[in-house]
Every structure is written in C-alpha cells, then in structure tokens.
Amino acid sequence: MTAKEPETNEHFGYEIIRDYVLSDILGKHENDVLYWAGKSLARKFPLFSLDEAGDFFEQAGFGELVTEKTGKDETVFVLRPFKLDNRCFKLEAGFLAQQQQKIGGFLTEAYDEVLPKKKLVRITLKTDLREQI
C-alpha cells in the first residue's frame, strides 16, 4: 500500500499572491499599480522583439499569448490565462506596452478587455507615432 501524493497546482502560490495578497494590499489602486509594475517588469526583462512575448508569458505563468493582428499604430494580442475569474490583467498590459515602447521607440499604452465567455483577454497596444521616446 502506498500513500497517495497530494495533487498540486503549479500556479497555486502565484494565484494566492496575485489574486488575494496584492488586491488586499493595493485596494482601489490595484489596476494602476499593477500596470506600472508591468512596465517596470518589462524593463527588468527586456525583449528584443514582441515575438518573444509568448514564450515569456508561458514561462512567467501568465498564460498563452498570441498576436491577433498588427497594424501601423496598433497591435492586438489574445491572452488565454491559466485563470480568468476575478483577476486584473493590468500587469500583463503594462508589460506589453513597455516592451513595444522600448522596441518601437514611440509612446505606447495598453488596454485590456476580459472576454469571459471566450475565456480570454484581449490586450490592445496603441502607439502614438507623434511621441518619440
């Protein structure tokens, strides 16, 4: 007779911190702080191309990220996170905005839209081609 190993969720610790600890600490400022934290994270883990973002998101436990469309001043990503319910995705949006801004050299902001029925998040990067960084 052998003891059954407890089932573990490899993302459980991350989920506790992300969904409970941070939201309790940050309160009503959660969205703003996580967006800027994402930008700071991008500075610490710079990418050479946004094509690398999908691999980074997988390794960081953010989920599966794919490019939906790319235009002159707009890029749209689809994120399939490991967990969607009751989560803010400003960290991921800020990370992508900062990476695009660094790579492209123009001011870039990101907007996230949670689509619960499709179980995904759409992150749109808007680049202001008049504001060179």
Which residues of the chain fall short of a pLDDT of 50? none
The pTM assigned to this predicted structure is 0.90
CB 69 within 8 A of CB 122: no
pLDDT, position 7: 54
In-domain check, residue 5: no
- Compute the distance between CA of residue 19 and CA of residue 11 in angstroms, rounded to an integer: 12
Count how many domains the chain has. Answer: 1
* Structural domain containing residue 100: 12-132
Dihedral sign for Cα 54, 60, 64, 65, please: negative
Longest dimension (CA), the chain: 70
pLDDT (tens digit per residue) in 87-123: 999 999 999 999 999 999 999 999 999 999 999 999 9
Question: For the domain that residue 124 is a member of, what is the CATH number?
Answer: 3.30.1380.20
Dihedral sign for Cα 52, 11, 88, 39, please: negative
